[in-house]
Amino acid sequence: METISENACFAGTQGVYTHPSKSCACDMTFGLFLPQEAKDGPVPLLWYLSGLTCTHENAMVKAGAQAWAAEQGIALVFPDTSPRGDGVADDEAYDLGQGAGFYVNATETPWAAHFQMWDYVTKELPALLEESFALDMTRQAITGHSMGGHGALTMAMALPGRFRSVSAFAPISNPTASDWGRKQLTAYLGNNETAWASHDATLLMQDKGFDGPILIDTGTNDQFIDLLKPEALAAAVATRRQQATLRLQPGYDHSYFFVSTFMEEHVAFHADALYA
């Protein structure tokens, strides 16, 4: 692992690191904020998964999360959204290829060689973090925006016991039922729709649910709301009688202005679970 940068940030440290990834067969970069409490021992960890076209840097710079994480004594990790590099498959469209890993393990050509983002985020990167930093991996929570909200919700439900809480900002909630989601799932996982179900938060809610608190915010002026399908996930939550807070925020869109507005509440929500 190589240190790209480390900056003092709210009495803690905001670092950026790169390392060779076995899962993705390329170098991967991530950001990690450690609060000052990490100098004295392991601290809880909140994952932030970013959306389409983003890198590790977008939320790290725009979300304003470090201030609230420092207040709560929580570390933040910002993984990249896909493998990258000259030898990594890509597509001209913004919603496929580099910057659009969708947090799945691709099985189809040309994506399978590098696009193993599920294994990277759920196996390889956690092991590296635990080995290298003062983190309490028994206390983890997860959040994300858009495609990252999709990843956060699916990982939380598919990995029971891993995360104490899950939240999302404008998540892609029912990709198997939207033209947008079906495009990526077909490209990465093929035409067998049974393989898609484990990457659809609405279907996972119907099948498994989540043993913990859930918080989801979506803006009523979100330009992608018809593709996000918050109503599908809300119906699944209601049918399952799942503990969850689902909010439609009037006037907000899909931008980081929206994310940063509600970030304090999301970090406090996770702190309640991480310190329970």
165 is catalytic: no
d(CA 257, CA 205): 28
Residue 142's closest CA among 214, 71, 208?
214
Helix (H, G, I), strand (E, B) or coil at 134: coil
E strands, 22-165, are 26-34, 43-49, 75-79, 135-144
CB of 98 within 8 A of CB of 84?
yes
Of the residues 150, 254, 266, 270, which is catalytic? 254
Tokens of 261: 């507005």
Burial class (CB in 10 A: 0-12, 13-18, 19+), 241: exposed
Tokens of 50: 């970013």
Which residues share a beta bridge with 236? none
Sign of CA dihedral 245, 37, 59, 180: negative
254 is catalytic: yes
Sign of CA dihedral 265, 122, 227, 64: positive
Distance of CA 239 to the CA centre of its chain: 25
Of the residues 21, 82, 146, 173, which is catalytic? 146
Residue 194: CB partners within 8 Å, gap ≥ 6? none
Of the residues 114, 200, 222, 266, which is catalytic? 222
23 is catalytic: no
Residues with catalytic roles: 146, 222, 254
